[in-house]
Amino acid sequence: MTVSIVAMTAAHVDALMPHEREMFGTEAWSANAYRQEIADTELRHYVAAVDGAGAMLGWAGVMVIGETAQILTVGTVPQYRRRGVARTLVADLLQHARDRRASEVFLEVRVDNDAARALYAAAGFTEIAVRKGYYDRGRVDAVVMRRDV
């Protein structure tokens, strides 16, 4: 499977919406929220991972303000998991942060999301803090992770 990274478009938003609620539950974003996010190209960088035929495999976004980058979302369509899609997406976000002269990058991840914590640890992030009750209306903690860009 070849994986290419392209700028996220409104068509990608439509393609990801069926997966968004299933993956992110109460934290799921609406299509409208995504459209607003991708329109803000000054601070934000949203990308889709696509295969050779253009099918969307995953998506991700990062925001850079000053020297600080924040990963906003990363998702891989279930049938394409464990094939390096998210690794490729995160590498693209880090390259963008580097291009924008950010010096450090942060993210939050649910404490019970073992797959994502393993993904970010493998990408060089370390866990620096816990935000109590950050998700699910106070029920689930967030782990804050950071790495140098």
Ligand X SMILES: CC(C)(COP(=O)(O)OP(=O)(O)OC[C@H]1O[C@@H](n2cnc3c(N)ncnc32)[C@H](O)[C@@H]1OP(=O)(O)O)[C@@H](O)C(=O)NCCC(=O)NCCS
- Interaction site with ligand X (CB under 6 A): 23, 58, 74-76, 81-87, 109, 113-116, 118-119, 122
Closer to ligand X by CB, 32 or 79: give it.
79
What strands, in cross-sheet order, belong to the sheet with 104-110?
4-7, 44-50, 56-65, 68-76, 104-110, 140-148, 126-135
From the CB of 32, what's the least distance to ligand X, in Å? 20
From the CB of 114, what's the least distance to ligand X, in Å? 6
Handedness of CA 41, 97, 34, 128 (dihedral sign): negative
Closer to ligand X by CB, 93 or 149: give it.
93
Closer to ligand X by CB, 38 or 76: give it.
76
